[in-house]
Amino acid sequence: MIRCLIVEDEQAGQQILLRKLTNMYPECNVLAIIDNKNEAVEFINNNELDLVFLDVQIIGGTGLDVLQECNKRNFETIFITAYDNFAITALNENASYYMLKPIIDEEFKKGMTLVIDKIRHSKSPSKILIPNKGVYLPINLSDIYYFESDGAYTYVVTAEDRVLSSKNIGYYEKTLPAESFKRPHHSYIVNIDKIHLFKKGRSGILIMQNEKEIPVSQRKMNDFLDYFIE
């Protein structure tokens, strides 16, 4: 879940934002809705958050005051306001996105896609431990091209190495971050960032950056088409 806080002093604005999050982004859990600066600062300082929505004009100060007075800034920020003259200042305060009221769905989706991607990336592990001959080898996820099934075992392939793991491919499908690693075929899991070409036919073929050709099963074709079209 993505832990959210809404800081907005207008009740209508609170409800509109809450409704959009509930309907479009059910993975967002709104922990609180606060209408004033002091309570917002206190809540942020005492809770772990992933995303804070800040109105510029709130009771007791501004959204910018909230950012400047809180003790920690380990969360993404979206400013939502009727005043476009605050945009440069907000962005200079490392805001992730800036939206103008009234909130248009397309703009809301654009901002949320950008911010959620950043949150997921920050939460994703950078390494994975590969069990191999009684030891665990740490490998950077970004270095992995693909995983290849070999019965009860799995080969982990990077640019420099091909490591045999004692875990089956189903284990890695459950373990790996789903936004970065996809399973195009029962025998493979690929790193999306390492795909060079996608050839579409009756079934598909992924050509990885190391020139390895990996089949895409008919059952998985729509998943990969949707991903690349988006």
Phi and psi based region of residue 122 (left: phi greater than 0; alpha: psi -120 to 50; beta: remaining): alpha
**Other CB atoms closer than 10 Å to residue 160's CB: what's the count?**
6
**Other CB atoms closer than 10 Å to residue 76's CB: what's the count?**
22
Q: Which residue has the tokens 């284990």?
A: 171
Q: Give the least confident one: 55-64, 114-123, 211-220.
A: 114-123
Confidence of residue 4 (pLDDT cuts 50, 70, 90): very high
Name the DSSP class of 25. Answer: -
11-45 pLDDT, tens per residue?
Answer: 999 999 999 999 999 999 999 999 999 999 999 99
Displacement of CA 135 from its chain's centroid (Å): 31
Environment class of residue 81 by beta-carbon count within 10 Å: exposed (0-12), middle (13-18) or buried (19+)? buried
Q: Looking at residue 229, what is its pLDDT?
A: 60
Per-residue CA distances from 131 to 137, 139, 173, 178 (Å): 6, 11, 15, 21
What tokens does 58 get? 């709130």
53-107 pLDDT, tens per residue?
Answer: 999 889 999 888 999 899 988 899 999 888 777 665 666 566 788 888 899 999 9
Assign 160 to helix, strand or coil. coil
Q: Looking at residue 122, what is its pLDDT?
A: 77
Q: Looking at residue 92, what is its pLDDT?
A: 59
146: Cβ–Cβ under 8 A, 6 or more apart, which residues? 157, 188, 189, 190, 191, 194, 208, 212, 214
152-207 pLDDT, tens per residue?
Answer: 999 999 999 999 999 999 999 988 888 789 999 999 999 999 999 988 877 889 99
Q: Which CATH number fits domain 127-229: 3.20.20.120, 2.40.50.1020, 3.30.43.10, 3.90.1280.20?
A: 2.40.50.1020
Q: Looking at residue 230, what is its pLDDT?
A: 53
Q: Read off the pTM.
A: 0.60
Confidence of residue 130 (pLDDT cuts 50, 70, 90): very high
Assign 177 to helix, strand or coil. coil
Confidence of residue 123 (pLDDT cuts 50, 70, 90): confident
Environment class of residue 72 by beta-carbon count within 10 Å: exposed (0-12), middle (13-18) or buried (19+)? exposed
Of 63-67, 114-118, 145-149, which one has max mean pLDDT?
145-149
Phi, psi for 106 (deg, rounded to 5): -65, -40
Nearest CA to 32 out of 24, 23, 45 is that of 45
Q: Where are the domains of the chain?
A: 2-123, 127-229
Q: Kindly state which CATH superfamily the domain 2-123 is placed in.
A: Response regulator (3.40.50.2300)
Q: Looking at residue 203, what is its pLDDT?
A: 80
Ordered DSSP codes for 47-107? S--SEEEE-SEEBTEEHHHHHHHSS---SEEEEEES-GGGHHHHHHTT-SEEEESSPPHHH
Q: Looking at residue 90, what is its pLDDT?
A: 63
Length of the chain as a residue count: 230
